[in-house]
Structure 1
């Protein structure tokens, strides 16, 4: 028999060690089981809490009808990552945007929106606040500068003249939007920065390319907007590319602002950027400290970016639609040209003062903006308090979209809604009639497009210039049918279609 050690035989000692180990393991296993059930209890409680909260909200608020969604997760097939309401008829849009405009005047914060707005600064993406109101007032005054005298028409006519020389050299079928895009961006360069750029300017070409690449990446949205915190852990390749594009775009505008600061003279306001700098100089002279704080360099860059970038894409898309319809309906093109010839005579370029004599041309542009809604649902609004619309409750913090496409295709307001018909906007004697109630391409209320007066005049001047100088026809000689594509969520564009041109005498 073996001698005992510590009062045990060797085999007894082994059994005791194993027994103690099993006991400890059992205790640890019990702890794990307890922890598991504890976490499970928390998870179940959390989920029940969410269900209770959702049920409470359903009982508290009379919500508009909509798709079923899971608590917290929502409905991943829908456009928005948070609670959203779409206003699809004129009565509810007017109720929300005009009658209760302050309730619906805010903007939601998104990760991609913050990227382009330096965290919600400027006008387009900033929250509804005293700062926003002041900056909108300053920007509006700066834009009105271009509605005085002949400043805007001089810019448009000068740019059109140069680009038409290049365009008239086209002998084969070509895409006309390549030239209309250049017209728009050259006008914006001149308006915002006082630059009359060379037609082959690398800056102009790069900005156009940046705009194209940014729109392309917004096509399918970003997971970073759905889960904002994910950027602190991981960024998708598409998001990193967007960051680079946004940085390049804003860096360009920052450099232009700095150039203007270095050469600014109060007695010589050269462009839109100088007008904004003048507003800050006046605030500094009058020692309005609060106003100066709302016009820092960061804010100024964003105010200019709103006009420059906002005006670029929407104006180009509208002209794409206009030219598509002019080619598709040669009878309307000829009627516009006859009106332009009669109003301007020989050798005179269009001016803002000719507008009253270009009613049919303007009616064609208005119908273009109805049929080709370039911002079909616009930028989302955000409720700043509990409100209501159409008899339904809209809680504070709800994202609200205006469905402009629905408004522009509502058979209750538009006869033969699918037809391109410029006569909708004219009186029997061919003059402009009152604007139809359901025509809202520039929105309404607090967030109505700041650049509407300039944009409508600019579009008419460009269109009149185009039709005054050229006939536009299909390359095949067969009547063109407008087909469409989507280039961004909710935005429809005409498919690119090659045309041939004839120089008009």
Structure 2
């Protein structure tokens, strides 16, 4: 309560200061009259209390009352929330040029990450340079094709881990196993080595990455009350400084080792992402430098590992909750690939039902429920209303994915809705936008759409699954927790059962035959 009183007092002074400043400058810019509708804000704090712990759900509820475009006052930040495909098209396509900049959370200014991350920098020549690096040196189709064997090996290790649990009669923590696999797949692509091994201190990345997702994703008072930035209260920014530094220390060690190797005459070029980026650093015609490399890699690791793991965990949850859909997927895999076999990336195109499961999962559980916040550079019209200059613009893809005017039985997991459909996730179909759209579309989309189907398809083709004792499809906890990526509130644990008998090798090298 004392903290709230402090905020109110500071902002009364802040508001008075701003008013006097405007008067001194000859008056304030007139506010547009045709702003979108929305709930009446309270003094000072505005509509902050209406966000709740799960803002994507609270905002979807408000949209049902006020319409698909609403205005909120979150402290001192005017926020416009979009909740329909047609309006999302206007923002991401028609007005992409004036709405592409970010409202940068105060937390990500830690270590100047907002100035060096493609996710946060304003659209500019530097932004286009960063996007070129991602598209040419990290996520280019040719490069992904060349290192698909590394991802296949990591999926093979995932299968082995699950097989060991099956032999021991132990449940698998799906999110943990998927996180390890996705992180190591990215690590091998970049560093040609695993980042998570039992004796490897880099294993702490798991918790650090998750904490980063939480800190960046959750509402922060400093975003809505500028005076809190002025007085320098420690909070999310300080915690992110600590988390970022832990990852940078690991990167520094790996980069220094690689630089040392490159000086040795007998050194063999790895030709991985790190080697390519170090070549760019050495190229005097490039503007890439070592600090920027670390910030690039930070985004790849954080966004790539946790979002992939969380999405796969939700997909497995939906299949265990809808066993008839799991059987349909297994029948397709059995027919096309063969029962009990690991699938490869080249197989994905021949598995339409598996692809439909991935799309349906993205519809119900989008990676980022509100996407990353945009900021309008000038007044513009959307849906007949004015979005004022400087407003935060959020696109509630979670609400769009559950809109009954767009989808039949929107709360029901029905992959069949995508069979024979041209709807894709690549930013051109505005009813399904898990990766965003426009010039800010997620650059990691090509990697995600390779890894997710391969991991999911392999797990359900090689194993049958059942929930832990006492858990049924009817009482399975489906609550989520809000962050930069929606995570399950409760980890999914499931019992694997091999679909065919095979020899499995445990960590100690001893062979065991599955029952």
Q: Shorter-chain TM-score: which interval? A: 0.7 to 0.9
CA distance in 1: counterparts of 2:20 and 2:44, whole angstroms: 11
- What aligned pairs does 1:322-401 form with structure 2 within 5 A after superposition? 322-345=315-338, 349-401=342-394
Label 1:255 to 1:104 Cα distance change in 2 as closer, same or farther (>3 A).
Answer: farther
CA distance in 1: counterparts of 2:451 and 2:408, whole angstroms: 28
Deviation at 1:164, TM superposition (A): 2.7
Deviation at 1:47, TM superposition (A): 10
1:485 and 2:479 are equivalent in the alignment? yes
Aligned to 2:452: 459
1:184 and 2:178 are equivalent in the alignment? no
CA distance in 1: counterparts of 2:336 and 2:472, whole angstroms: 28
1:316 and 2:335 are equivalent in the alignment? no
Label 1:47 to 1:484 Cα distance change in 2 as closer, same or farther (>3 A).
Answer: farther
Label 1:433 to 1:219 Cα distance change in 2 as closer, same or farther (>3 A).
Answer: closer
Aligned to 2:30: 57
1:161 and 2:156 are equivalent in the alignment? yes
Contact 1:147 / 1:454 at 8 angstroms: preserved in 2?
no
1:425 and 2:397 are equivalent in the alignment? no
CA distance in 2: counterparts of 1:471 and 1:175, whole angstroms: 15
Gaps of 5+ in 2: 1-12, 52-73, 501-515
Aligned to 1:77: 49
CA deviations 1:315-359 (Å, max 9, x no partner) are 111011011012112222122222222222367532222122111
Aligned to 1:271: 272
Contact 2:183 / 2:196 at 8 angstroms: preserved in 1?
no
Aligned to 1:129: 124
Deviation at 1:310, TM superposition (A): 1.0
CA RMSD in angstroms, aligned pairs only? 3.2
CA deviations 1:455-495 (Å, max 9, x no partner) are 11111111112112211111238641443334325864333
Label 1:452 to 1:234 Cα distance change in 2 as closer, same or farther (>3 A).
Answer: closer
CA distance in 2: counterparts of 1:400 and 1:44, whole angstroms: 24
Corresponding residue SS for 2:393: strand
Corresponding residue SS for 2:497: strand
Aligned to 2:245: 247
- What aligned pairs does 1:77-156 form with structure 2 within 5 A after superposition? 77=49, 80-81=74-75, 82-115=77-110, 117-145=112-140, 147-148=142-143, 150-156=145-151
CA deviations 1:432-473 (Å, max 9, x no partner) are 644354111111111011111111111111111211221111
Gaps of 5+ in 1: 1-38
Label 1:503 to 1:237 Cα distance change in 2 as closer, same or farther (>3 A).
Answer: same
Aligned length: 450
Deviation at 1:101, TM superposition (A): 1.1
1:173 and 2:171 are equivalent in the alignment? yes
Contact 2:189 / 2:272 at 8 angstroms: preserved in 1?
yes
Corresponding residue SS for 1:410: coil
Contact 1:194 / 1:270 at 8 angstroms: preserved in 2?
no
Corresponding residue SS for 2:454: helix
Q: If you compute each CA radius of gyration, which structure gives the higher value, 1 or 2?
A: 1
1:449 and 2:470 are equivalent in the alignment? no
Contact 2:98 / 2:376 at 8 angstroms: preserved in 1?
yes
Label 1:318 to 1:121 Cα distance change in 2 as closer, same or farther (>3 A).
Answer: same
Label 1:314 to 1:102 Cα distance change in 2 as closer, same or farther (>3 A).
Answer: same
CA distance in 2: counterparts of 1:383 and 1:100, whole angstroms: 9
Normalized against structure 2, the TM-score is what? 0.78
CA distance in 2: counterparts of 1:99 and 1:152, whole angstroms: 37
Deviation at 1:231, TM superposition (A): 5.5
Corresponding residue SS for 1:401: strand
- Which shifted more, 340-349 or 493-502? 340-349
Aligned to 2:204: 206
Contact 1:192 / 1:308 at 8 angstroms: preserved in 2?
no
Deviation at 1:151, TM superposition (A): 3.8
Deviation at 1:204, TM superposition (A): 4.3
CA distance in 2: counterparts of 1:72 and 1:53, whole angstroms: 21
